Structure 1
Amino acid sequence: MRFFNVLALVAGASAAATGLLSARHDKDKCLKKNDVDYLVAAYKSILTKWEPAKADFIADHGFFDYSDSINVIAGIPTGFPIFPNKTAFVSHENTNPESLPLVVVEIGPYNCEQITLIWSATFTAIPGGTPLPVRGITVLEGDYNERQRQWEIQSIKVEFNSINFWKNIGGVCTRPAPPS
């Protein structure tokens, strides 16, 4: 919990100093606790058992999924979204559905549009392999869809222990030799 308090303080101070904090004009369109729970559950369900109907949890316009952790594993340059839009994300999930045993460890601070959460997943894709724990942090951005009258996931920003993830899917990682 201390980590989230420090994170919230630093993020708030940084945003205030740069003028990034701005109140929404419609107070009913800020995330409330039940909205946070809904979006976190949607995120978890997308990663634990994908079904095409879950595409409705994703915003139609402006969606992206950013993760240098995933980019490194996929062999893609870092600094770019792994999925730049909803179409790319849904297409990937429809052809390579996720089935991570994601456990939400803690839902951290949230504000009008963003939610921070810590998660873990212990798994292996290797028959007879030893499951290794992977721990990550995700920042979800929500967007209220006026037409649907529900919150949707506008963006996903996630980083995690990519070495354990890599090993869990069959990658090999050896330690460097100790200095001589």
Structure 2
Amino acid sequence: MRFSSLIALLAGTALALPTGTLTPRQEEQACLTKDEAAEIVEIYRRLIAEYDPTDCEKYCAEDFVDRSDSINTFIHKPLGEPTFATKQIFMDAQLSNPPFPVVIDHIDAVDCEAIALRWHATFGAANLPSRGITIIGTTKREGYWQIKSLDVEFNSLIWLLNMGGSYVWEG
């Protein structure tokens, strides 16, 4: 009796299983290699340190966005809002900004479409190293990798001193 119950249970379970044939996986989405990530990081460095509009035109995606509360504090934008909501706004801002000597300290992580890195910039009046982190979001379009998003935060107080500003600590 138990044996026939087991057979009935197994037969019912088999009927409940999907019966389609196995198909090959869809073509997987392209993922960054470490070498490609290093190239994108160099493009990012150039966009900040040695801005050339042709780099931005080619390597920034059309739906590019840059977010940085550190920068928002300097340009009086509300925290949490995109700093440069479009590629064109970013390009206009970079054309009016002086280049900053960004030094890439380390690429910390490379994911399928994201890169995390640490950097510093030492310049200006105080000549102190302002350390920062950047997360670069990428997309592969037109046969090559492009920067889709930048999330950047850095020591904005040191940056302020480097730009010749000052602050008063009230504690």
Q: TM-score range, shorter-chain basis? A: 0.7 to 0.9
Letter of the 1:121 partner, please give it: A
Indicate the SS of the match to 2:51: coil
How far is 1:157 from its partner?
0.1
1:39-50 alignment to 2 at 5 Å?
39-50=40-51
Superposition TM-score, scaled by structure 2 size:
0.80
Aligned alpha-carbon RMSD (Å): 1.4
Superposition TM-score, scaled by structure 1 size:
0.76
CA contact (8 A) 2:109 2:116 kept: yes
* Count of residue pairs the alignment pairs up: 145
Which residue of 138, 144, 150 maps to 1:150?
A: 144
Could you list the runs of 5+ residues in structure 1 that have no partner in the other structure?
A: 1-24
Query: What is the identity percentage for the equivalent residue pairs of Structure 1 and Structure 2?
Result: 33
Equivalence for 1:113: 113
Tell whether 2:136 aligns with 1:140. yes
Distance 1:143 1:97 in 2: 26
Relative distance call for 1:116 and 1:98 in structure 2 (3 A) is farther
CA contact (8 A) 2:65 2:85 kept: yes
Distance 1:131 1:155 in 2: 29
CA contact (8 A) 1:67 1:82 kept: yes
CA contact (8 A) 2:126 2:161 kept: no
Equivalence for 1:91: 92
Relative distance call for 1:98 and 1:39 in structure 2 (3 A) is farther
How far is 1:26 from its partner?
4.0
- Name the structure where strand makes up a greater proportion of residues: 2
| Runs of 4 or more above 6 Å deviation | none
Structure with higher Rg: it is 2
How far is 1:47 from its partner?
0.7
Indicate the SS of the match to 1:29: coil
CA contact (8 A) 1:49 1:98 kept: no
